Amino acid sequence: MTRTLHVLLLMTLLVIVPAQAETPVARGTGGAAATISEQATQSAIAILDQGGNAVDAAVAAAATLGVTDPFSCGIGGGGFMVVYLAKDRRVITIDHRETAPAATTPALFIEDGKEMDFDTAIASGLSVGVPGTVRGWHEALQRYGSMSLAQVLAPAITVAEEGFTVDANFSRLAEVNERKFNRFPATAALYLRHGRAIPAGTLLRNPDLARTYRLLADGGVDAFYAGPLASAIVDTVNRPPTAPGVPVRGSRMTLADLANYEARLRLPVHSTYRGYDLYGMAPPSSGGVTVFEALNILEGYDLKTMSRAQVEHLYLEASRLAFADRDAYLADPEYVDAPVTGLLSKDYAAQRRTLIARDKAASGRVAAGDPYPFQQDPSHPLRSTPRALPPENTHTTHLTVSDKDGNVVAYTFTIEDWGGSGMVVPGYGFLLNNELTDFDFTAPHPNIPEPGKRPRSSMTPTIALKDGEPAFSIGSPGGSTIITTVLQTIVNYVDLGMPMDQAIDAPRLSQRNGEVTDIEPGFAGSAQAKALAHLGQRWSDQPEEIGAANALVFNADGTVTAVSEGHRHGVGSAQVQTPAR
C-alpha cells in the first residue's frame, strides 16, 4: 500500500460521535481499578470478571491506554510496576525502563561542544531508548499473572478496532503536538487531519495497532524484540520517516539492542511513615527514594497540630531538600552506587530537618546533603553543588488495580514527552519514546548517557501497608512533578486527614529545589497561596495542570475505594467489580 493510500485509509476511520462521561470515584467489593481512561478501566474490570488477577487486569488496562492515551504511554516506551502479592504477603517490583543503545556515548546530546536544543533532541531518533514495555508485561504475566498475553490484549484489540471517542483533552494534546507530528507522515495520518488536531467527538480507530497487538498475542514477546516489528523499530529510529524536506537526526540502534533487552526484578525501596509501611521503586526510579526521604523529614513534625499553611510550608521545604539529594546521587544502580541506605536513614532525615525554618522558605536552591555517614558502608562521599534541575517532560500515565484475593498493582509507564519522539512506527500504529532525554546532557553526572544504561526516572508507583495489609496505593504522571504529586497526596491523606478523592483533587504545589514553586491555574491569588507567601514561598508565573493521579484505598469494612482525578486530564475513571449500595 502506498503512503498516500495508507493516509487516506486512516482518514476514513474518523467519525464524529458523542463523548462518554467518566466516574472518578467508586466504592465496593471484589476487584477495583482506577485509570485516566474509561475504556482502560473497563478493560481491567472485564479481565477481573473473567477470573483474572490484578496483574492480568493491569496489563489489560495498560494495553488499552496504549490506544486511548497514546501520547502518554504505549508499547514504544517503558515503566515500573509495583505488585503486592497477597498469598506471599510481599511486594515485588518490575523495572522495564528503556535502555540506551549500545552505541550511545556520554556526548549523545552534545553538538559543537554545546548541549543540543531540548526540543530538537526530543523529536529525533537520538532520543529513543530501547522499549521495555512488552518485556515488562511478559515478565509480569509469566511470573505473577494467571492469563496469557493474548487473553489480556483482547479488550485493547477491540477498542483499537472499534474505536474510541476523542475527548477535548485528547484533541488539545494533539493540538500542542501539531508541529512535531507533522514532521512524521505516519503520525500525522493517525492523529491529525489536514495537519490539524482531530476534533473532540471523533471516533478514532487504530487498525495498525490492533494488528500489532494480534502479532504479540500470536507470537508473544519475541514478536516484538525480533523479526519484522523489531526491524521496523530500528529502521524508524535510525532513518526517521519524515515529511519531505524535514531533517531529523537518526540514531544507531541495532536489532541486537532489542534482542538483548531485559527487564529487571528489583527489591522495592521501603520506608515507614506514621504507622504505614511504604513500598516503591528503587533506582533507576528516583521517585521512591525522594518521596520517602521527604516523608522521613516531615515525620519529625506533629503536623496534625498545625495549620494547613504550616503543613504545606514544611512539605515544600522537605521536598526541596529531598530533590537536592535526588539530583546529586540517584541514577541507574548498574552504573552508579547510589547511597540509598543513607538517603532513607531516619537519622539522616533528622540532620536535613535542621535546615528548615518553620517561618521562612529557603531563598533558592539548597545544596545536597552528605548521606554517606549514614550509609553503613565504606563508600567515599560524592560532593555535589546545587544546580538548576534539567528539563524533564511531564507526560506519563499511572494506573492501579486490585483483585478479590487482595493482590494490588501500582503501575506507571510512559513514552516521556506528550507524543514521545513524535514517531509512529509506520504500519504498526504506536509512538516511540524519547526517554533518553531523561539523561543529563552534560558530564560529569551520575545520570549521563552510557551504553545500555537506563535514564533516571521520576515515576513513583507506591503501595502502602498497615498492620501487614494493603492500606492504599498511589501514583501519577507528571515528570519530576510525579514525586511531589505522590508526596503531597500522602501528606493530604495521612496528615491533613482528607479523604483520598479530596487529597487528589486539592491544588498541587511542586517544589523541586527551584527558585520558585510550580502551581496550577487559579492558585496564585487564593487565600491558601497568600498564607504561604507570608512564609516566603514564591510561585511560578506560568501555572499549569500538575499530574493525573490514581489511587486505591482499602477500607476497614472490607470494601475498596477506587479514586481517579476529579477535574484534571479530562476527569479519570474508577470502577469496582461490585459497587456498594
Report the Cα 24 to chain-centroid distance in Å: 19
Are the C-beta atoms of residues 279 and 268 closer than 8 Å to each other?
yes
Are the C-beta atoms of residues 390 and 326 closer than 8 Å to each other?
no
Question: Residue type for 342, please?
Answer: G
Helix (H, G, I), strand (E, B) or coil at 381: coil
What are the grid coordinates assigned to 301, written together?
A: 513534625
In whole angstroms, give the CA distance from residue 232 to residue 420.
17
Spell out a b/e string for 479-493, using b for 16 or more CB atoms within 10 Å of the CB, else e.
bbbbbbbbbbbbbbb
What values do phi and psi take at 566, rounded to 5? -90, -15
In whole angstroms, give the CA distance from residue 334 to residue 439.
15
Question: Residue type for 34, please?
Answer: A
In whole angstroms, give the CA distance from residue 230 to residue 258.
7
Are the C-beta atoms of residues 81 and 93 closer than 8 Å to each other?
yes
Of 301, 295, 302, whose CA–CA distance to 269 is shortest? 295
Q: Which residues contact 185 (CB under 8 A, 6 or more apart)?
A: 3, 7, 241, 242, 243, 426
Pairing of strands 202-204, 164-165: antiparallel
Which positions are annotated as active-site residues? 396
Helix (H, G, I), strand (E, B) or coil at 30: strand
In whole angstroms, give the CA distance from residue 237 to residue 254.
9
